[in-house]
Structure 1
Amino acid sequence: MSGTTEPELTAVILAAGLGSRMGALHGPKGLLEVGGRVLLEHQMRVLAACGVARIVVVTGHQADRVEAAAAGLGLRTDIPVACARNPGFADTGTAMSALIGLRAAAPGDALLLEGDTLLTAPSIIDAIGDRTEIRTLTDRRARWEQGSKILTDGDGRVSDWLHSRHQGPGFSPEDATKTVNLTYLPAVGRSRLERVLAAAVCDLKAPLEFAFRDLALAGARIWAIEMAGRAWCEIDDPDDLARARAMPAFRDPPASTGWVAFQTSEPGAPPAL
């Protein structure tokens, strides 16, 4: 044996948003309950199961509540957790939150995950792959749904990354695949993305997808990794939340994990620990 080990992997969870499409449930989506656990807990648990050594949570809206939940979850699971605030969350896009989170993370490889997305461990492990190139999860079955789309060449390499603003009247999702909001970044790819993000945030409202598009169009090797029918859910509105709560993959977390659900009561109140 060589005695060498792979560098530790950091996950950055983007959880600064307003949750404005959630109607009466308006607030941090990371504190919404699914299957007896808040979304943030689901995410931290599955990331730890995939070998993530530390987590950075980017906060903004109701930051105190989200940070209290993240700190409590870190203590319960022995996962080092740090929080990085986006002070301009109400006036900036996800590109700014991603840049803040990556700059707060330890050097090395990173996973970038949006805070409203639930995934299972096999999909995340597929995204990590052999830890040599940028890999992003996609789902061709969901290509007709709203949201960002990806175009690939015949080998699965990303040729374009299309935010909804880039999907004009002539665009058809038929040949596209939908993004699933988790991307693996080896250290070199992460450094390249950070440089692109630093330029992208000159437009304060720029979404993260703009930076990924710039990378793809500049010739970066980014691979689309299909979900292969595995369960996932992006929670944008109350209908999505109901769908996530009905999915067996997220309904009944294993009791053997020792995780305890947070009860998030009144908006503005910290979770009960």
Structure 2
Amino acid sequence: MITTAVLLAAGEGSRLRSAAASKPLCHVGGRALIDHAITGFAAAGLARVVVVLGYEAERIEAHLAAGRWPVAVETVRTADYRQPNGVSVLAAEHALAGEEAVLAMCDHLVDPALYARVAQSGAGCGARLAIDRRITSDLVDLDDVTCVRTEGEAIVAIGKHLEGYDCFDTGVFAIGPGLFAALSSLESPSLTEGMRVLAEHGAALTIDCSDLDWIDVDDPAALDKAEHWLRAA
């Protein structure tokens, strides 16, 4: 089982700026988004979290230093937080030293059981994405979600506004050296482009997590949905 998580918390989060100056520190359900993620990893049985920082890095580092966490937490910084998110993923490569990890987004609220399932699945020879086949879910923003088309467990197409999709990208992956190699081959690496590279070689796989809930807290409307979701849980 994978025991390390990589948490992307480097972006500006401009669409949520009205609620918080720093998206990872935006409160939902009485706690910062980054706190939900870290405690969720611990509940899933992970032991270590590598947090990738960029925008407002000093403020987030201070928040992490002041906390008492149930897992080991360390930070790295992306070379440029304005670049595509694959650059932030690459910033964590040295810290993993060739080991596999669970990769997640700081602005996603996720049932810890989803992290656990991904940790148990492993990355295969490239990367494995947790998918949700509930394509009519009201927790998902169709204008923002990354869509996926699959054949068996393999990804054959991925992207926003994809035609003919059969599931959604939950933002949680099992990753290994194969994904880092794919991202390093790209001039402007994004996670989606990295997964496309892997898909060309049959190395972009999926794990079905349609029975587990998650929500991308990307704007005030999603924040409101997340508050209601947590109260109902």
What band does the TM-score fall into relative to the shorter chain?
0.7 to 0.9
Structure whose CA Rg is larger: 1
Q: Which residue of 2 aligns with 1:139?
A: 132
Bigger shift: residues 238-247 or 121-130: 121-130
Q: Tell me, what secondary structure is at the counterpart of 1:70?
A: helix
Matched, 1:84 2:76: yes
Q: Which amino acid is 1:11 matched to?
A: A
Bigger shift: residues 26-35 or 112-121: 26-35
Q: Which residue of 2 aligns with 1:151?
A: 149
- After TM superposition, the score normalised by the length of structure 2 is 0.88
* 1:224-249 superposed Cα distances (whole Å, 9 cap, x missing partner): 42322x3211011100011111113x
Q: Which residue of 1 aligns with 2:40?
A: 46
Q: Which amino acid is 2:96 matched to?
A: A
Instruction: Work out the percentage of aligned pairs sharing the same amino acid.
Output: 28
- Give the RMSD, CA atoms, in angstroms: 2.2
Which structure carries more strand by proportion?
Answer: 2
Q: Tell me, what secondary structure is at the counterpart of 2:134?
A: helix
Q: Which residue of 1 aligns with 2:185?
A: 199
The alpha carbon displacement at 1:87 in A equals 3.7
Matched, 1:116 2:110: no
* 1:113-163 superposed Cα distances (whole Å, 9 cap, x missing partner): 01110101222222223436343112222467132111111x23222222x
Does structure 2 retain, via aligned residues, the 8 Å contact 1:53–1:79?
A: yes
Change (3 A) 1:176 1:246: same
Change (3 A) 1:62 1:9: same
Q: Tell me, what secondary structure is at the counterpart of 1:219?
A: coil
Q: Tell me, what secondary structure is at the counterpart of 1:158?
A: strand
| Alignment gaps of 5+ in structure 2 | none
Q: How many pairs does the alignment contain? A: 226
| Alignment gaps of 5+ in structure 1 | 1-5, 254-273
Runs of 4+ residues over 4 Å off in structure 1: none
- After TM superposition, the score normalised by the length of structure 1 is 0.76
Cα distance in 2 between the residues matched to 1:152 and 1:140: 10
Q: Which residue of 2 aligns with 1:100?
A: 91
Cα distance in 2 between the residues matched to 1:35 and 1:195: 38
Q: Which residue of 2 aligns with 1:267?
A: none
